[in-house]
Structure 1
Amino acid sequence: MATPAQAQALLDFTYGARLLEKFMQPGTSSQAAHALAEPANRVAYHVRKLTDSGLLRVAGHQGKRVLYQTVAETFHVPRALVRLDEPLTLIEPVMQEITNAYAHAILAWQARQDPQAPNEGGTDLTVRLGTHHPADGSAAPEGPYPPAMRLRAVRLTPEQYQRAQAALDRILTELDTGDDAADAKQATFVLMTFPGHLHQH
């Protein structure tokens, strides 16, 4: 990896390495879009960017469709191309996108819960304390697809930490069945784990 443009393309949290992984074997941009559950035109745009930056190559054709494949399985990014002293430059764009999407989901959910709220379109945020918890300890959801955030610090051994990550991955993999039921709706889960406490620096 030799240029800032290549480093930026690779380290894009949404359409960098995550998208390149879909081309470990030759595939089309539409196949990658289906695998990522992303709009085909958006994925095609980023496939072109990765190709122009030299991270993807044309590997043949499938009828009229172009097959792409990643140029390598491992990329080494020189420290000079990554501002490692400013980690937010890597994570902030995707975190901002997640935050915006989550905030809109909360406002939309509250508007559905209380459409007659005396405010501008039901966009005030209501915070209720003492939410009822069933006997099994799980939070009681209110209405379909309530947005939820879980933040908890726990003490784990290295082995427990790895098992927890693997278990969470398995749950999401098992759920991702492509259910075509009439009431099925796409949902986003963001799972972040890291050693230490949120307020430790």
Structure 2
Amino acid sequence: MTQQASLFVTDPTAARALRQDHTLLGLFVSPQSPSDLAPRLGMAPSLVHHHARRLTDLGLLFEQRREGGRVYFQLAAREFRVPSNLLPPEDTQGNGTADLHELSKGFLRAYGRSWAQLHDSEEDVYGFGDAEHPAAPMTPPDAPSPEGHPTHLDRLTLHLTPARYQRLARALSALLDEASAEGHSEGGQPCTLAVLAYREVPGPALSLSRSINSFLGAQQ
């Protein structure tokens, strides 16, 4: 068996595994032995082998070869395509739901770390405005951050036409495209950058508002 360019996934269990184990799966883009990966993961080789075998049974990995008493596994495909209705939003690992849960938990963990190093002078800021008096632009605190990768949240609510909404959302995602094209920083740490855009449900008219909750501090 050889690695395919693309595979269509029709099994819900395999689709959930793609979400839950995407970090581990990403380590098998090229053939890897669980024994070699175990030190990097801080896990026992037998446990990594167990996970690799489970993902193989789901069709996400395949046994590429055996060599010197070691088994080498590889991703079954470089791309997996999952029908949208296979994991609906009401599923705990459904479309969008799992991503939002993962982002929320990850951000809160990082926010707690940044909060633990909070300066007394730092504060959260909330600004409001209207068409005549827009909310003032906001910047992170002036004091340098005590950590290299502080959490940063910047939120804006305003009235948008469909065309302007889509243009702004695409422009934000384009920044992530640039970062992806530039690739990893040598000696860098794993970081998550996310773009979240959505329309509020019908209700009371919303004021133009801006809030920033950031530990970035001044540029160093």
Give the total of aligned pairs. 172
Which consecutive residues of structure 2, in runs of 5 or more, have no partner in the other structure? 1-8, 128-136, 203-220
> Aligned partners of 1:107, 1:79: CA distance in 2, in Å?
34
97, 113, 118: which one aligns with 1:113: 118
C-alpha displacement of 1:94: 4.4
Q: Tell me how large the CA RMSD over aligned residues is.
A: 4.4
The 5 Å alignment of 1:1-201 reads: 1=9, 3-10=11-18, 12=19, 14-16=20-22, 19-20=24-25, 22-29=27-34, 39=41, 41=43, 44=48, 46-61=51-66, 63-73=68-78, 75=80, 77=82, 82-84=86-88, 86=90, 89-90=93-94, 91-114=96-119, 127-129=123-125, 139-140=140-141, 141-144=144-147, 145-152=149-156, 155=164, 161=170, 164-171=172-179, 174=182, 176-179=184-187, 186-192=189-195, 197-200=198-201
> Aligned partners of 1:85, 1:104: CA distance in 2, in Å?
24
| TM-score (norm. length: structure 2) | 0.53
Cα-to-partner distance string for 1:53-74 (whole Å, 9 max, x where unaligned): 2221100135444222233455
> Aligned partners of 2:139, 2:190: CA distance in 1, in Å?
19
Q: 1:92 to 1:193 in 2, by over 3 A?
A: closer
Cα-to-partner distance string for 1:17-44 (whole Å, 9 max, x where unaligned): x65455444334577789xxx7253993
Match of residue 130 from structure 2: none
SS where residue 52 of structure 2 aligns?
A: helix
C-alpha displacement of 1:89: 3.7
> Aligned partners of 2:10, 2:169: CA distance in 1, in Å?
39
Q: Whose helix fraction is larger, Structure 1's or Structure 2's?
A: 1
Which amino acid is 2:193 matched to? V
Which amino acid is 1:26 matched to? P
Q: Whose strand fraction is larger, Structure 1's or Structure 2's?
A: 2
Q: Which has the higher contact order (CA 8 A, sep 6+)?
A: 2
Native 8 Å contact 2:90 2:97 kept in 1? no
Which consecutive residues of structure 1, in runs of 5 or more, have no partner in the other structure? 116-125
SS where residue 63 of structure 2 aligns?
A: strand
Match of residue 4 from structure 2: none
Percent identity, aligned pairs only, is 22
> Aligned partners of 1:96, 1:168: CA distance in 2, in Å?
20
Please tell me whether Structure 1 or Structure 2 has the larger radius of gyration of its CA atoms: 2
Q: 1:159 to 1:96 in 2, by over 3 A?
A: closer
SS where residue 112 of structure 1 aligns?
A: coil
> Aligned partners of 2:89, 2:103: CA distance in 1, in Å?
23
> Aligned partners of 1:31, 1:171: CA distance in 2, in Å?
29
